[in-house]
Amino acid sequence: MAMAQVVRSEWTKIRSVASTVWTLSLAVVVTIALGMLISALSKSEYDNMSAQDRLSFDPTFTSFAGTSLGQLAMIVFGVLVVANEYSTGMIRTSLAAVPQRGAFLFGKIAVATLLALVVGMATSFAAFFLGQAMLGDLKASLGDPGVLRAVFGGGLYMTLIAMFSMGVAAMLRSPMLSLGILMPFFFLISSILGAVDATQKVGRFLPDQAGSKIMQVVPPVGDDTPYGPWGGLGIMVLWVVAALIGGYVVLKRRDA
Amino acid sequence: MIELEGLTKRYGEKVAVNNLTFAVRPGIITGFLGPNGAGKSTTMRMVLGLDRPTAGDVRIDGKHYDELKDPLKYIGALLDAKAVHGGRSAYHHLLCLAQANGIPAKRVHEVLDVVGLTAVAKKKAKGFSLGMGQRLGIAAALLGDPRILMFDEPVNGLDPEGIHWIRNLMKALAAQGRTVFVSSHLMSEMALTADHLVVIGQGRLLADTSMADFIAQNSRSYVRVRTPQREQLLDVLHEAGITVAGSGSEVLEVEGDKSERIGELAAQHRIVLHELSPQQASLEEAFMRLTAESVEYHAHGGQPAGQQGAQQEWGAEWRRG
């Protein structure tokens, strides 16, 4: 009963601020548009590709190319949902209304996660179908082995990225600090680590690299990743759980 | 009823609230008075469970804050008018608080009406003036129709009309039998509204008394006499059995309201008086004496220049009221 009240309250909160609309629409538009663009470019480049590249060409994964940029909007969404409570001072009003801090935090995260899941799934399916439309005769279909899993996984990936950001924001309690750490982390550091052989083995256990494995249908040639698509998503889930526990502990212990 | 028992909050070495024990009773307005930085807001945050006490305990109707089911129905608080998401409308701000405590949405319209924000209910809170923000905070406090209300410096930044409104609102709430706990750093404000007074300085309890007792004990009246014939007047007063409380080179202070008698005595003995004026020590002065230690601590000794002005201003207001 009390939890239902918290969820209703958090739903009112999330739907009554503009940042929810613009972050989520940006995530949808960027992911789909960039995916379509890369798919169209890949189609025109396909004839010039080496035999090896053609062998590992993954039409499904190609249509998700926009995720790398679209996920940044998801990060902003996750960060703002939690950290705006702190930056505005609303947290004191919120905790006076719901002094059970665990119920407050997880009620909020549940509502934001559900919204991210709906938007993430819709985005993933739209990015797939529109991307495949750009690929013409190279296209994959939803019935091909592993494709439905990848498309479904794309929606889960977007949701988990948002959840991870919520946990980090609950730990750091500041939108600027949270974005200042998460943005470069996901946009730069992760890909830099992945680019160099020595650090690649570490880099692939980072949440985004492990999690994005679920969107792959055709593995790259010579792929020696020690986990499969679901294993990778599992690693990402562990990161998310750790971030949420960290956020909960900080909220529970510190003065508001 | 709010009960504090040995409530203490330390931030590292600094003690913000030091072993506070007092109770806030229903049906009256209890003023919570102390200079800036005395620990009033920290105490109020601990009442709401926002800050954890280092030691001691605070209970609302016998329970800890987080044990209250739908706490807004027990206690409503205005701590910081800026504790609002500026991008949310006044209506949605109140609605999300109402929903969290199972309060029907029609109550949101009611409190918006009470505080006079109905016309701007759909406007974003970031466009609100300080006074409107204060009203929104009060609307949130009233939302659950609670038996206990707590306001931290509610008149800060308000125009005279707003101040008048808040004073009347608090009096009306107390008259309905509710517990009203209101903080201020101005004795003048408390003298006008509070029935009971809790004074703290540097986190320590300095006084816990009824307003009437505080006034009786602290509003000393005396007569100030200035004369070039000081010794002669002293003799005359002594003969008449009038005790002189304090005296300088030309100035005498006589306890009580005896200006007429002193004037007659002086005339009889042909003593020249340059001044004969009844005086009233202000409550603000009494408050300042009480908290002098903590003020001196912050100001590194000596009386800050601003205090003299505040006394004058207050005295004038009190006499009018």
- For chain A, what are the domain ranges? 3-17+71-121+141-253
Which pLDDT does position A197 carry in this prediction?
A: 77
CA-based nearest distance A93→chain B, Å: 6
Edge-to-edge strands, sheet with B29-33: B75-78, B148-152, B179-184, B29-33, B196-201, B204-210
- Counting one residue from chain A and one from chain B, the pairs whose CB atoms sit within 8 A come to 88
**Partner residue facing A9 (CB), from B69, B79, B100:** B100
Which of A8, A19, A80, A92 best probes binding to B when mutated, by most B CB atoms within 10 angstroms? A92
Closest to B7 in 3D by CA, of B319, A52, B15: B15
Which pLDDT does position B290 carry in this prediction?
A: 80
Residue of A nearest to B123 (CA): A16
**Partner residue facing B50 (CB), from A9, A84, A256:** A256
CA-based nearest distance B63→chain A, Å: 13
pLDDT tens, A4-41?
Answer: 999 999 999 999 999 999 999 999 999 999 999 999 99
Residue B310 has pLDDT above 50, yes or no: no
pTM above 0.90, yes or no: no
User: What letter does residue A187 receive in the DSSP assignment?
Assistant: I
CA-based nearest distance B260→chain A, Å: 59
**Partner residue facing A6 (CB), from B79, B82, B100:** B100
Q: Are B197 and B190 in contact (CB under 8 A)?
A: yes
At B294, the pLDDT band (50, 70, 90 cuts) reads low
Q: Say which range, A54-58, A125-129, B289-293, has the weakest mean pLDDT.
A: B289-293
User: Residue A178 class from Cβ within 10 Å (0-12 exposed, 13-18 middle, 19+ buried)?
Assistant: buried
Residue A202 has pLDDT above 90, yes or no: no
Q: Say which range, A57-71, A182-196, B116-130, B142-156, has the weakest mean pLDDT.
A: A182-196
- Positive or negative, the CA dihedral B122, B126, B127, B133 is positive
At B305, the pLDDT band (50, 70, 90 cuts) reads very low
At B321, the pLDDT band (50, 70, 90 cuts) reads very low
- Cα→Cα distances B104→B13, B99, B120, B145, Å: 46, 7, 20, 12
A100 contacts chain B (CB < 8 A): yes
Residue of B nearest to A12 (CA): B96
Q: What's the token pair of residue A209?
A: 């690299």
Q: What's the token pair of residue B158?
A: 């308000």
User: What letter does residue B16 receive in the DSSP assignment?
Assistant: E
Higher per-residue confidence, B155 vs A239: A239
Which pLDDT does position B308 carry in this prediction?
A: 41
Chain A residues lying within 8 Å of B101, measured CB to CB: 5, 97
Which range of A38-47, A120-129, B200-209, B222-231 scores highest in mean pLDDT? It is: A120-129
**Partner residue facing A89 (CB), from B80, B87, B101:** B80
Residue B112 has pLDDT above 50, yes or no: yes
Residue A173 has pLDDT above 80, yes or no: yes
At B181, the pLDDT band (50, 70, 90 cuts) reads very high
Q: What percent of chain A has pLDDT over 70?
A: 100
Distance CA B311, CA B132 (A): 30
Chain A residues lying within 8 Å of B70, measured CB to CB: 5
Q: Say which range, A186-190, B34-38, B236-240, B275-279, has the weakest mean pLDDT.
A: A186-190
Q: Strand B204-210 vs strand B221-226: parallel, antiparallel, or unpaired?
A: unpaired
User: What letter does residue A185 receive in the DSSP assignment?
Assistant: I
pLDDT tens, B241-269?
Answer: 888 877 777 788 888 878 889 999 999 99
Residue B60 CB neighbour total at 10 angstroms: 24
Residue of A nearest to B69 (CA): A2
Q: What's the token pair of residue B213?
A: 């007792």
Residue of A nearest to B91 (CA): A16
Which residue do the tokens 């800890």 mark?
A: B64
Closest to B83 in 3D by CA, of B125, B39, B144, B41: B125
Q: What's the token pair of residue B56?
A: 């001691």
Q: Say which range, A63-67, A206-210, B284-288, has the weakest mean pLDDT.
A: B284-288
Q: What would the mean pLDDT of B175-187 be, rounded to a whole number?
A: 94
A87 contacts chain B (CB < 8 A): no
Which range of A51-60, A185-194, B196-205 scores highest in mean pLDDT? It is: B196-205
CA-based nearest distance B47→chain A, Å: 10
Which pLDDT does position B301 carry in this prediction?
A: 42
Q: Do B83 and A255 touch (CB under 8 A)?
A: no
Q: What percent of chain B has pLDDT over 90?
A: 62
pLDDT tens, B83-104?
Answer: 899 999 999 999 999 999 999 9
Q: What would the mean pLDDT of B184-209 be, rounded to a whole number?
A: 92
Q: Are B195 and B29 in contact (CB under 8 A)?
A: yes
Q: Do A89 and B49 touch (CB under 8 A)?
A: no
**Partner residue facing B50 (CB), from A17, A19, A96:** A96
* b/e map A183-192, b = 16+ CB within 10 Å: eeebbeebee
Which pLDDT does position A51 carry in this prediction?
A: 85
Closest to A162 in 3D by CA, of A122, A109, A206: A109
Distance CA A73, CA B68 (A): 38
Residue of B nearest to A4 (CA): B100
Q: What would the mean pLDDT of B300-309 be, rounded to a whole number?
A: 42
Provide the Cα torsion B208, B214, B217, B218; round to 10°: 110
Q: Are B165 and B13 in contact (CB under 8 A)?
A: no
Helix axes A67-88, A147-172, angle to 10 degrees: 30
Residue A241 has pLDDT above 60, yes or no: yes
Q: Do B84 and A10 touch (CB under 8 A)?
A: no
Residue B138 has pLDDT above 70, yes or no: yes
Q: What would the mean pLDDT of B41-59 be, rounded to a whole number?
A: 96
- Beta strands (DSSP E) in chain B are 2-11, 14-24, 29-33, 55-60, 75-78, 148-152, 179-184, 196-201, 204-210, 221-226, 244-247, 251-255, 275-280
At B295, the pLDDT band (50, 70, 90 cuts) reads low
Distance CA A155, CA A122 (A): 7
**Partner residue facing B85 (CB), from A5, A6, A90:** A90
Name, in order, each residue with C-beta under 8 angstroms of B114's C-beta and a sequence gap of 6 or more: B139, B142
Element (H or E) spanning A244, and its range? helix A229-253
Q: What's the token pair of residue B188?
A: 């003048």
- The overall average pLDDT reported for chain B is 87
Q: Are A80 and B85 in contact (CB under 8 A)?
A: no
- Cα→Cα distances B225→A158, B235, B266, Å: 84, 14, 11
Q: What percent of chain B has pLDDT over 70?
A: 91
pLDDT tens, A209-220?
Answer: 999 999 999 988
**Partner residue facing B87 (CB), from A5, A18, A97:** A18
CA-based nearest distance A163→chain B, Å: 21
Q: Are A134 and A43 in contact (CB under 8 A)?
A: yes
Which pLDDT does position B95 carry in this prediction?
A: 98
